[in-house]
């Protein structure tokens, strides 16, 4: 119920307006969002690279309604691609196709993404097509395959283990030789297309992870769930799969203790670093995904309260959210 409530708030225009106008909301969101500008995202990437982590930069935004908005987003993303290359950062770039005009039309999307991919190829920067709600799953995979068949090889895609279809999609991606980021999924979906129970989502995650590690092309195993992390390590060890053949992927500001531990253990870790003014829906999905994130926010509000005797906050809440 808490997850559903948070997702509903994430889609509420009134809640979004209140949150984005409140200075404390922006302050708290900065744990999970690098900032609103490309410069802030590039600086976050520098810091993470210095700590031994790879990066995926994401300009927040989705479901644009006009060509002008889509072209503006594409220009911002191209700027980030060129900044990554000029600074020799260890970073790739994630994009949402609805932000680049997927709902405007296939021809428009092809032109906008094609120009971006041309710039990325010129700069040697990998582009990941993010996955959105199931309204877009097949359309995204079809567009990805169209780009792949046109000779684009510096691209990858995201698959979500809470969907029934994902095992078949993993087999499809492995057959292509495409790089996949496997995650659980953060959108609210009906039981007709998605597993309603966590244990089923987790079981599908493990099945898909095993197929990707065994037959995939440098997959990204995107999870903060330590049970899933242990399952991945165990399978790689049992099947003698070298650590250079895959990477763990985690979100900026979430389970930083685990991120650092994995790097210390010699695993490749890529941090998904979002930025941009459209931070509110993303922030609410992160709260819905992991209740410990919400504990962190509540604890931060208490510690920043003008009530002096509450400013110490809760150590337990901070530990849960680390």
Domain assignments of the chain as residue spans, ordered by start: 36-277, 292-322
Active-site choice (58, 130, 202, 299): 130
What pLDDT, on the 0 to 100 scale, is given for residue 32?
86
Torsion sign across C-alpha atoms 168, 164, 159, 11: positive
Q: List the alpha helices (DSSP H) in 152-289.
A: 166-176, 198-215, 226-238, 256-264, 279-289
What pLDDT, on the 0 to 100 scale, is given for residue 209?
98
What pLDDT, on the 0 to 100 scale, is given for residue 58?
97
Known catalytic residue at 103: no
Active-site choice (16, 181, 286, 290): 181
What pLDDT, on the 0 to 100 scale, is given for residue 187?
86
Q: 279, 25 in Cβ contact below 8 A?
A: no
What pLDDT, on the 0 to 100 scale, is given for residue 31?
79
pLDDT digits (tens), the chain, 322 positions: 545 544 444 454 544 454 454 554 555 667 789 998 999 999 999 999 999 999 999 999 988 989 999 999 999 999 999 999 999 999 999 999 999 999 999 999 999 999 999 999 999 999 999 999 999 999 999 999 999 999 999 999 999 999 999 999 999 999 999 999 999 998 889 999 999 999 999 999 999 999 999 999 999 999 999 999 999 999 999 999 999 999 999 999 888 999 999 999 999 999 999 999 876 777 766 666 655 555 544 454 444 344 433 334 434 333 333 3
Is 36-277 in CATH node 3.20.20.80?
A: no
User: pTM surpassing 0.85?
Assistant: no
3-state secondary structure of 243: helix
What pLDDT, on the 0 to 100 scale, is given for residue 254?
85
Known catalytic residue at 181: yes
Determine phi and psi for 151, rounding to 5 degrees: 100, 5
**CA distance linking residue 261 with residue 259, whole number of Å:** 6
**CA distance linking residue 65 with residue 48, whole number of Å:** 34
Q: Could you write out the DSSP letters of every residue in 60-91?
A: ------SHHHHHHHHHHHHHHHHHHHHTT-SE
What pLDDT, on the 0 to 100 scale, is given for residue 225?
93
**CA distance linking residue 110 with residue 116, whole number of Å:** 10
- How wide is the angle at C-alpha 162 spanned by C-alphas 158 and 165, nearest 5°? 75
């Amino acid at each position: 119920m808490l997850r559903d409530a948070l997702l509903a708030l994430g889609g509420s225009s009134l809640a979004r307006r209140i949150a984005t106008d409140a200075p404390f909301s922006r302050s708290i969101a900065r744990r999970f969002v690098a900032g609103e500008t490309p410069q802030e995202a590039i600086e976050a990437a520098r810091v993470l690279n210095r700590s031994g982590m790879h990066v995926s930069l994401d300009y927040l935004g989705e479901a644009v309604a006009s060509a002008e908005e889509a072209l503006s987003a594409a220009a911002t993303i191209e700027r980030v691609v060129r900044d990554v290359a000029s600074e020799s950062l260890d970073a790739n770039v994630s994009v949402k196709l609805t932000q680049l005009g997927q709902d405007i039309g296939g021809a428009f999307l092809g032109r906008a993404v094609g120009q971006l991919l041309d710039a990325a190829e010129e700069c040697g920067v990998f582009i990941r097509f993010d996955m959105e709600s199931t309204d877009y799953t097949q359309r995204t995979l079809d567009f990805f395959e169209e780009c792949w068949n046109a000779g684009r090889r510096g691209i990858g895609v995201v698959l979500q283990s809470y969907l029934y279809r994902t095992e078949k999609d993993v087999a499809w991606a492995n057959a292509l030789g495409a790089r996949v980021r496997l995650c659980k999924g953060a959108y609210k979906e009906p039981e007709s297309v998605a597993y309603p129970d966590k244990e089923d989502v987790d079981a599908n995650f493990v099945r898909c992870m095993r197929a990707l590690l065994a037959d995939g092309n440098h997959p990204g195993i995107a999870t903060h769930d330590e049970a899933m992390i242990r399952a991945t390590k165990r399978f790689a060890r049992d099947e003698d799969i070298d650590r250079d053949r895959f990477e763990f992927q985690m979100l900026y500001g979430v389970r930083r203790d685990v991120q650092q531990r994995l790097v210390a253990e010699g695993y490749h870790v890529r941090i998904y670093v979002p930025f941009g003014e459209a931070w509110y829906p993303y922030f609410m999905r992160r709260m819905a995904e992991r209740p410990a994130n919400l504990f962190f926010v509540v604890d931060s509000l208490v510690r920043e309260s003008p009530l002096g005797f509450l400013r110490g906050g809760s150590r337990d809440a901070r530990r849960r959210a680390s």
